[in-house]
Chains A and B, each alone.
Chain A
Amino acid sequence: MADLDGLAAAIEAGDRGSATGLTREALDEGLDPKGILAVMTASMRRVGDRFQRNEIYIPEMLIAARAMKEATVILEPHLSKAGVRPAFTAVIGTVQGDLHDIGKSLVGMMWKGAAIEVIDLGTNVAPERFVAAAREHDARVIGLSALLTTTMVGMRDVVAAVRAADLVDVKVIVGGAPVTAEFASQIGADGYAPDAAAAVEAVKALVGLADSAG
């Protein structure tokens, strides 16, 4: 019997070796790849919850996300063979003039953990690059990060560029230390999340995939 509880525990502990090994075993036994993926995303959700409750620290969340990512690499060919595609693609980056990487990367990892295809454009990203990447990858979401009040105002330019480019299905979600829900609505963003764990539910709600299990 494939050890799916063990797989969940391995991801939560950030144990890459066990996570990949148990994923292979589960596939060898013919388990439904979609079911395996569901176990993994549930694990990452628990990791996010624990982080939100201050029970675990940033590096523990990072290694869990890394274990999930490596296990997903093994799973992916089986998922696509079974016709399972990532729910949607999100483009993420830190806005122009801002070199802060950590918050943006944490959100990107949590999104990947939720089986979202993530295109990470890095830091100091100009509005037109967000637009071009969203178009190229047929993204449903653009995630913007800023850690400075001085660069946060650049989020408005990205929202404007997205609207001007007529990307009607693309939602813009914003976050970062100085960013508030009030600021998000002022600049016409579609969504806001105060931290990386909340960003998962927020982005799912934005594209209409809200998970009733929370």
Chain B
Amino acid sequence: MGHSHVAPGVSGGIAVHRLPGGSPFLVIGENIHGTRVVLRGGRHVTVAPDGREVVCYQDERGVERHLPIPERLRKAADVAAGRVKHVQAAVLAILGGNDADATEGRAYLQMLARRQAQAGADWLDVNLDEVSTDRALQRESVVAVVRIVEAAVTVPVALDSSVAELIQAGLEASADPARLLLNSASIERPEVLDLAASAGCAVIVSAAGRGGLPTGVADRVANAEAIVEQAVRRGLDLGAIHVDPLVIPVAVEPDAGAQFLEAVAQLRARFGPRLHLTGGLSNVSFGLPARRLLNDTFIRMAAEAGVDSAIIDPIAADLRRVFGRDPDAPPSRLAADVLTGADAYGLEYLGAFRAGALAGEG
């Protein structure tokens, strides 16, 4: 039985995921992100009795709740194309709606936070870069959402932005900045290291280089080493640093999965067990069908290579299921071949998918 060896333990009042070997696996829940969408015409979007289109969900007590889709969002091309950015809808309802809408917006974000906390997330990633193009509104959003999440759950926030100023706004709004995780610093964004050093909190450092994404293993490792060195020089402990060697979709770069795994192995060997190695692991399956199978397989492979932290959806990426899968079963092997590049561009995988061999793999 694969299920028994990933039992969530409890530490500091929150669930902690463990790898089959017993070491902790840190989960950075990615669901409070301004780009997240639900589909119109799906079961999540419905028309309320007052005629307004709403995002429909059940709260913890099983009560049906309606998150209004703000006017501004309804006019966006996304909605016309059938996609509703639900986190953005909640934030806009809080910042610009009437009291009733603001209450629903807060309830929605609380629900997103609680569900991820219950699924054992160690941090809740909050990225609101896409909520608006207006910097002041972005800042206001970060401040509001950090306060809502911290009031709803004891799980700390991971402040995720490509703008250091917004990470700083989140730090200032936090009731407990020392428990935060800052996402992320890089060679081009070293100022985020200063924010982490002065708050005494953890930080994700990415292997992005000057002017582009890393192109191979050596590039990833060199960039990661350079930014880790800068972090250590600022007094950050290795145990407070999560290195993201960057996951690029194998649908576009067939070798990208193997390069990530090799970079992880090299960085683990170079820095030892204290440094955390992380990544947005589900990015690997972008552009391919049956993504859950690919994601589960990649999480296992990444953990085997030395990853002990991941920016994932803690509800979809059930680690018991991940490690309960038989790696030798045909679907797992098909997925592994895509992820290592052995099945370049996933042509065999797509053939198997069309032949129905991956039926039931969401």
- Taking Cβ atoms with an 8 Å cutoff, the residues of A that contact B are 14, 57-60, 62-63, 97, 99, 101-102, 105, 122-124, 148-153, 177-178, 180-182, 194
Contact = CB atoms under 8 A, between A and B. Distances in A.
Given A101-B212, A178-B35, 16 more contacts: A14-B345, A14-B347, A57-B289, A58-B252, A59-B252, A59-B254, A59-B346, A60-B347, A62-B345, A97-B162, A101-B252, A102-B286, A124-B212, A148-B130, A149-B133, A178-B130
Contacts of A60: 345, 347, 350
Contacts of B75: 182
A102 B252 contact: yes
Interface in B39-93: 75-78, 81
A57 B211 CA distance: 29
Contacts of A123: 211-213
Contacts of B252: 58-59, 62, 101-102, 105
A198 to B, nearest CB: 12
Interface of B: 34-35, 75-78, 81, 129-133, 138, 162-163, 208, 211-213, 249, 251-252, 254, 286-289, 345-347, 350
B162 A150 contact: yes
Contacts of A177: 35
A59 B345 contact: yes
Nearest to A100: B213
A153 B251 contact: no
B77 A57 contact: no
A99 B35 contact: no
B77 A150 contact: no
A14 B346 CA distance: 13
Nearest to B209: A99
A37 B35 CA distance: 40
A63 B212 contact: no
Contacts of B249: 58, 102
A181 B77 contact: yes
